[in-house]
């Protein structure tokens, strides 16, 4: 009978290691955690992080991401939009890419919660926010969202199935 | 009258065992009551779920034909379904879906290259798998996953140093994917005890992931069998079936124990026939032929071998069954020239000791004992510890008049009689007596 080894495909899981120890006096085996992934703004990650940097970006804690990746983000931004000056947030290329490279979702503790509602920008994120369009506006729309009008809308204005009003709020798979 | 004959035979059989075994009397390990519930036809829940998901994504794809996500999901599900049904056409469609995604994304997608490599391994296209992994590594994303697959591919290609080098590049060594590959390398090195300890460690780590757990249990069951721990192998296979009654690989493991350890041939046949009724792949016919051989039913054996041969030589299986075809050609059809040709093809595809073993075995049966010995000493001795190779080495040394080495290898092979099966075990006994 031959040994068989199936292919291992799904390896992304983060395994938490627990030690079995019957001896109460023994020093507990240290538990090691490894950051494998993170997902605050996956579209930004997809566009701005090169394939070669993906692993290290996903494994870097957000507070260290700005220092490590802001320059690369800035290069990418200017490669995508050489005419970038500032955007709706009033941020120049250096400041904006510093924000982008820190992969967290910001939220305002007071006021409206929205990715962008025409007035408030990045004060949070709702399921029905047109996130990609907002990101395109910030990248290409210039200081008043009017520049490069052909590049600032993904023309997907709503989910193709209504969201739920109760948990889990997302629409069922369809 | 018939019943009486059976009765007399059943009395005679244990007596024969007593006479033929110098060790303690064999105890049956398998009991039909343990596994009978898994031999009843029922809806395969995993397959049903897989089919539902395929239907879901196909519907979605009709609405959004350009969607990359739909193609990726369908490709992955079709590869999964092949594991459940053995229908190789699913892998072909999966390949073409992945290729279409690559074409539209400009090749910059490491995970798709890894998925294509996995499909290539399934089809025994190891050179292609290696190329896909190299592309994934060059892109960079998911480096650890790519390195783990490089270990797998290198092991298949016989590049054991390359496999170890790839594994050495992994920094985190206390996680499941590292440990199982370390176990595979240890097993290849002939250090089965370490391999088992590592696989047992992996088992603990896989306990929260149902599919990984089943995979690990079935590999561990094989290793237990390899180590002669047949009872443990049996218990583990039963545990797998308790979790997933449709995990046919575990049922096949039980069929092998019934066949090779308990010599309950009718039982083994009924299990094999049940598996074959669910998924028609060539493998089961090979097992059925071995069972018929052990029963001295040569007509039935040749019938099964012909079915195996006609299925396994189908172009859709490519090189997947080369090894078993090569063995059948030389051992059953007395056709060493075909074996040698298949062996050379295998050596081209994957220059492993197992591939060279086929060449040596072909030469041996062709009466070219010196050539067989040359291949054996260049590529087999101390390079693999697989029992079938040890058996072949024993026979080759015997044929070359080196009886000391011959009986040494035959005795080592004999220790793995369970893994080799009763027919080969008898051949080893016979060779040892005449050496």
Between residues B338 and A20, the one the model is more confident about: B338
Three-state DSSP class for A33?
Answer: coil
Identity of the residue in B142, B218, B260 whose CB atom sits nearest the CB atom of A55: B142
**How many residues can be counted in chain A?**
174
Residue A8 has pLDDT above 50, yes or no: no
CB A7 to CB B121 under 8 A?
yes
Spatial distance between the Cα atoms of B150 and B121, rounded to a whole number of angstroms: 11
Burial tier of B360 (Cβ tally within 10 Å: 0-12, 13-18, 19+): buried
> How far B372 CA sits from the closest chain A CA (Å)?
23
Find, among B396, B435, B434, B432, the residue nearest to B414 by Cα.
Answer: B432
CB B236 within 8 A of CB B202: no
* For A18, nearest residue in chain B (alpha carbons): B205
Spatial distance between the Cα atoms of B55 and A8, rounded to a whole number of angstroms: 25
Strand-pair partners of A92: A86
Give the residue carrying structure tokens 């490590």.
A68
> How far A11 CA sits from the closest chain B CA (Å)?
7
Q: Please, where are the H alpha helices in B158-191?
A: 160-168, 176-188
Q: Read off the DSSP letter of residue A116.
A: B
* For B107, nearest residue in chain A (alpha carbons): A51
Strand-pair partners of A116: A121
Three-state DSSP class for A121?
Answer: strand
Spatial distance between the Cα atoms of A43 and A25, rounded to a whole number of angstroms: 49
* For B212, nearest residue in chain A (alpha carbons): A8
Instruction: Name residues whose C-beta falls within 8 Å of residue B176's C-beta, 6 or more positions apart in sequence.
Output: A11, A15, B202, B205, B206, B212
Can you tell me the mean pLDDT for A49-59? Answer: 92
CB A38 within 8 A of CB A62: yes
| Nearest-10 crossing angle of helices B68-85, B89-105 | 160
Spatial distance between the Cα atoms of B170 and A70, rounded to a whole number of angstroms: 27
Task: Tell me, yes or no, if A5 comes closer than 8 A to chain B by beta carbon.
Answer: yes
- The pLDDT of residue B11: 41
Q: Please, where are the H alpha helices in A102-156?
A: 131-140
- The pLDDT of residue A26: 55
Strand-pair partners of A121: A116
- The pLDDT of residue A155: 93
Identity of the residue in A3, A6, A9 whose CB atom sits nearest the CB atom of B226: A3
Spatial distance between the Cα atoms of B429 and B340, rounded to a whole number of angstroms: 26
> How far B114 CA sits from the closest chain A CA (Å)?
8
Q: What angle do CA A104, A110, A112 make, to 5 degrees?
A: 80
CB B182 within 8 A of CB B198: yes
What is the helix (H) or strand (E) element at residue B37, kind and residue range? none
Local confidence pLDDT in tens for the 435 residues of chain B: 344 444 444 444 444 444 333 333 457 999 999 999 999 988 889 999 999 999 999 999 999 888 999 999 999 999 999 998 889 999 999 999 999 999 998 778 999 999 999 999 999 999 999 999 999 999 999 999 999 999 999 999 999 999 999 999 998 888 899 999 999 999 999 999 999 999 999 999 999 999 899 999 999 999 999 999 999 999 999 999 999 999 999 999 999 999 999 999 999 999 999 999 988 789 999 999 999 999 999 999 999 999 999 999 999 999 999 999 999 999 999 999 999 999 999 999 999 999 999 999 999 999 999 999 999 999 999 999 999 999 999 999 999 999 999 999 999 999 999 999 999 999 999 999 987
- The pLDDT of residue B22: 33
- The pLDDT of residue B287: 96
CB B146 within 8 A of CB A8: no
CB B422 within 8 A of CB B429: no
CB B146 within 8 A of CB B133: yes
In this prediction the pTM is 0.84
Which of A7, A45, A50, A53 best probes binding to B when mutated, by most B CB atoms within 10 angstroms? Answer: A7
Give exposure, B34-64, as e/b (b: 16+ Cβ within 10 Å).
ebeebbeeeebebbeebeebbebbeebbeee
- The pLDDT of residue B394: 98
Chain A positions in Cβ-Cβ contact with residue B253 (cut-off 8 Å): 1
Residue A146 has pLDDT above 50, yes or no: yes
Identity of the residue in A2, A5, A20 whose CB atom sits nearest the CB atom of B184: A5
Question: Which sequence spans correspond to the domains of chain A?
Answer: 42-151
CB B206 within 8 A of CB B216: yes
Cβ-based neighbour number of residue B323 at 10 Å: 21
Task: Tell me, yes or no, if A3 comes closer than 8 A to chain B by beta carbon.
Answer: yes
Residue A42 token pair: 């996956």
Spatial distance between the Cα atoms of A99 and A91, rounded to a whole number of angstroms: 9
In order, the DSSP letters of B268-312 are HHHHHHHHHHHS--HHHHHHHHHHHHHTT-HHHHHHHHHHHHHHH
Spatial distance between the Cα atoms of A43 and B284, rounded to a whole number of angstroms: 48
- The pLDDT of residue B435: 73
Between residues A37 and B274, the one the model is more confident about: B274
Which of B175, B228, B244 best probes binding to A when mutated, by most A CB atoms within 10 angstroms? Answer: B175
Chain B positions in Cβ-Cβ contact with residue A3 (cut-off 8 Å): 187, 219, 222-223, 226
CB B74 within 8 A of CB B62: no
Q: N- to C-terminal Cα distance for chain B?
A: 43
Chain A positions in Cβ-Cβ contact with residue B139 (cut-off 8 Å): 51-52
CB B222 to CB A54 under 8 A?
no
* For A32, nearest residue in chain B (alpha carbons): B174
- The pLDDT of residue A6: 38
Task: Tell me, yes or no, if A31 comes closer than 8 A to chain B by beta carbon.
Answer: no
Q: Read off the DSSP letter of residue A24.
A: T
**Percent with pLDDT over 90 in chain A:** 65
Number of CB pairs, chain A paired with chain B, less than 8 A apart: 80
- The pLDDT of residue B244: 93
ipTM of the shown complex: 0.70
Find, among A141, A60, A73, A158, the residue nearest to A104 by Cα.
Answer: A60
Chain A window 61-90: which residues touch B at a Cβ cutoff of 8 Å? Answer: none
Residue A92 token pair: 């120049």
Spatial distance between the Cα atoms of B50 and A3, rounded to a whole number of angstroms: 26
């Amino acid at each position: 009978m031959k040994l068989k080894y199936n292919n291992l495909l799904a390896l992304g899981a983060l395994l938490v290691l627990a030690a079995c120890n019957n001896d109460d006096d023994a020093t507990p085996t240290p538990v090691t955690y490894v950051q494998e992934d993170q997902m605050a703004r996956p579209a930004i990650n997809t566009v701005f992080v090169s394939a070669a940097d993906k692993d290290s970006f996903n494994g870097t804690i957000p507070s260290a991401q700005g220092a490590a990746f802001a320059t690369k983000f800035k290069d990418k931004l200017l490669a995508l939009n050489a005419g970038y000056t500032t955007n709706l947030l009033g941020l120049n290329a250096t400041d904006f890419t510093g924000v982008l490279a820190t992969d967290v979702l910001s939220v305002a503790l007071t006021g409206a919660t929205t990715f962008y509602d025409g007035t408030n920008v990045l004060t949070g994120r709702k399921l029905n926010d047109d996130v990609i369009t907002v990101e395109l506006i910030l990248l290409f729309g210039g200081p008043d969202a009017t520049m490069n009008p052909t590049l600032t809308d993904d023309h997907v204005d709503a989910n193709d199935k209504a969201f739920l009003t109760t948990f889990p709020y997302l629409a069922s798979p369809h | 009258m018939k019943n009486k004959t059976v009765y007399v035979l059943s009395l005679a059989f244990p007596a024969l065992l007593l006479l033929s075994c110098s060790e303690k009397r064999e105890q049956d390990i398998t009991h039909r009551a343990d596994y009978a519930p898994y031999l009843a036809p029922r809806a395969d829940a995993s397959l049903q779920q897989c089919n539902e998901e395929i239907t879901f994504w196909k519907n979605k794809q009709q609405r959004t034909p350009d969607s990359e996500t739909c193609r990726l999901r369908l490709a992955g599900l079709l590869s999964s379904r092949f594991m459940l049904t053995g229908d190789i056409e699913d892998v072909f469609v999966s390949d073409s879906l992945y290729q279409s995604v690559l074409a539209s994304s400009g090749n910059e997608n490491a995970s798709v290259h890894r998925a294509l490599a996995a499909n290539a391994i399934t089809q025994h296209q190891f050179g292609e798998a290696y190329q896909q992994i190299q592309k994934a590594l060059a892109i960079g994303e998911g480096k650890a996953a790519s390195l783990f697959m490089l270990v797998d591919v290198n092991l298949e290609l016989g590049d054991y140093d390359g496999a170890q080098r790839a594994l050495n590049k992994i920094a985190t060594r206390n996680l499941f994917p590292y440990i199982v590959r370390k176990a595979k390398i240890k097993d290849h090195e002939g250090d089965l005890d370490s391999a088992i300890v590592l696989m047992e460690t992996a088992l603990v780590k896989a306990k929260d992931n149902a599919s990984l757990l089943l995979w690990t249990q079935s590999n561990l069951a094989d290793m237990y069998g390899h180590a002669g721990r047949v009872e443990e192998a049996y218990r583990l296979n039963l545990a797998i079936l308790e979790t997933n009654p449709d995990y046919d690989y575990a049922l096949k493991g039980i069929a092998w124990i019934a066949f090779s350890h308990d010599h309950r041939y009718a039982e083994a046949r009924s299990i094999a026939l049940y598996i074959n009724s669910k998924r028609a792949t060539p493998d089961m016919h090979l097992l059925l032929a071995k069972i018929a051989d052990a029963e001295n039913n040569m007509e039935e054996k040749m019938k099964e071998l012909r079915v195996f041969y006609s299925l396994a030589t189908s172009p859709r299986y490519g090189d997947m069954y080369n090894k078993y075809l090569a063995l059948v050609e030389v051992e059953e059809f007395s056709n060493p020239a075909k074996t040698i040709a298949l062996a050379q093809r295998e050596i081209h595809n994957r220059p492993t000791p197992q591939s060279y073993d086929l060449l040596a075995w072909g030469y041996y049966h062709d009466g070219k004992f010196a050539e067989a010995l040359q291949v054996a000493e260049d590529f087999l001795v101390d390079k693999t510890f697989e029992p079938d190779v040890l058996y072949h080495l024993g026979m080759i040394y015997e044929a070359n008049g080196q009886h000391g080495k011959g009986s040494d290898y035959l005795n080592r092979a004999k220790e793995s009689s369970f893994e080799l099966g009763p027919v080969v075990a008898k051949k080893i006994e016979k060779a040892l007596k005449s050496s």
